[in-house]
Amino acid sequence: MELNKHLADQGANEALVELFSAIEDASKIVQSEVSRAGLGADIYGAKGSENIQGEEQQKLDVYADECFIHAFRGSGQVAGLASEEQDNALQFDESLKGEYVVMIDPLDGSSNIDVNVAIGTIFAIYRRVSKSGETLIEADFLQAGRDQVAAGYVNYSVSTQMVLSTGNGTHIYTLDPESGTYQLISENVKIPADGKVYSINEVNLDDFDDNLKRYAQHCKDKRKEDGKRMYTGRYIGSLVADFHRNLLKGGIYVYPATVDSPNGKLRLLYECNPMSFLAENAGGKGSDGVQNILDIKPTELHQRCPFYVGSPVMMDEALPSI
Ligand code: AHM
Ligand code: MG
């Protein structure tokens, strides 16, 4: 079943279905560009600029950002957008009547672009709180994750897949290169309760708090009844790819506060919130180590937070006090 038909079956209104058409269109352009990387096209490498967070922008980061902005602006359904690659929130004057605002990381896993490893687009969709036709306000963008209307990601990998939720389960669609349509392949995916995979950048081990050090050791020590190890370590360095594998196999992904990133590295609005929404809709959990990610009231557009997400049993073992 095609994505737009499935969305409508799930009760999405026409405006939301159209908004998703914009995501489909932009993701197909990005996918096509990603697939040509290395073919002599000048796609790899740094753009020579930095985003507001002081991170070097890659050419594909900027290309993907432009594609999605163009698609959302043209859809008429989106009044404004906040992007990892934009200093400030954008307002689309031509679609001020749009009912939605979008938060987006247009190309996540930038460090993996040049080495042909999976990368992704992550997005969160909210209904605006300001009145239709009026100028957007800060509160439109600083909504708690719990208020997401929909969230998802596109995983540009062996195949291109979109994973999304409109609050009614988490579903997976594969881009059929022949028809150019996303086809439903898994409805209502459930993350295994106790997973197999522990995903964390262990170079930061010395920076972990005592509880996380304990949990990291626990993952190494825990054995099944037959004496074999319970867990295995897998860390790609693209949140989309690490999350996607853990969603299917069961697992936990952690990016804690570190010396280099004292508030964690990942951004609440367009990385942690959408992933937590997808996890919850698949029976998993997301936390900053203190509270449910979806309950955090954001104070800044590019706010960072420590991030734990994954299978419920592993999350409970990692964070026994919450
Ligand atoms: P990005 O949005 O600049 O690509 O950064 C986010 C990425 C995540 O996809 C990934 O999980 C993490 O950064 C990897 O960071 P590190 O290399 O510090 O482990
Ligand atoms: Mg990112």
- Measured by CA distance, the residue closest to atom 15 of ligand 1 is 237
Q: Can you read off the two tokens belonging to residue 254?
A: 């952690």
* CATH node for 3-186: 3.30.540.10
pLDDT tens string 230-264? 999 999 999 999 999 999 999 999 999 998 899 99
Query: pTM of this prediction?
Result: 0.95
Q: Are 145 and 294 in contact (CB under 8 A)?
A: yes
CB 102 within 8 A of CB 123: yes
The finding on whether 65 has its CB within 6 A of some atom of ligand 1 is: no
Cα 180 to its chain centre, rounded Å, is 23
pLDDT at 41: 59
The helix (H) or strand (E) run that includes residue 151 is: strand 150-156
Which CATH architecture describes the domain 197-318?
3-Layer(aba) Sandwich (3.40)
Tell me: the pLDDT tens digits for 213-232? 999 999 999 999 999 999 99
Ligand nearest to the CA of 201: 1
Distance 107 CA to ligand 2 centre (A): 7
CA of 117 to the centre of ligand 1 (A): 13
| 238 C-beta closer than 6 A to ligand 1 | yes
What strand order describes the sheet that includes 197-200?
A: 232-233, 197-200, 251-255, 307-310, 285-287
Residue 178 sits at φ, ψ, to 5 deg, of: -75, -50
Q: What is the mean pLDDT of residues 260-284?
A: 97
Q: What's residue 57's pLDDT? A: 74
Instruction: Report the C-alpha gap between 321 and 296 in whole angstroms.
Output: 18
Nearest atom within ligand 1 for CA of residue 111: 4
269 close to ligand 1 (CB < 6 Angstrom): no
How much is the pLDDT for 36? 84
For a ligand 1 pocket test, name from 108, 205, 307 the mutation site with the most ligand atoms within 8 angstroms of its C-beta.
108
Residues 6+ apart with CB under 8 A from 30: 60, 63, 64, 67, 68, 106, 107, 121, 154, 156
- Measured from the CB, is residue 120 less than 6 Å from ligand 1? no
Is residue 117 lining ligand 1, measured as CB closer than 6 Å? no
Token output for 255: 């990016």
Q: What is the mean pLDDT of residues 130-159?
A: 96
Which atom of ligand 1 is least distant from the CA of 112? Answer: 4
- The residue whose C-alpha atom lies closest to atom 16 belonging to ligand 1 is 237
Domain locations in the chain as residue ranges = 3-186, 197-318
Q: Does the Cβ of 239 fall within 6 Å of ligand 1?
A: yes
Judge if the beta carbon of residue 285 lies within 6 A of ligand 1.
no
Q: How far is CA 197 from CA 52, 115, 244, 248, 287, in A?
A: 33, 23, 12, 10, 17
Residue 297, pLDDT score: 98
**DSSP-derived 3-state class of residue 86:** coil
Q: Is the CB of 108 under 6 A from ligand 1?
A: yes
* Residues making up the chain, counted from first to last: 322
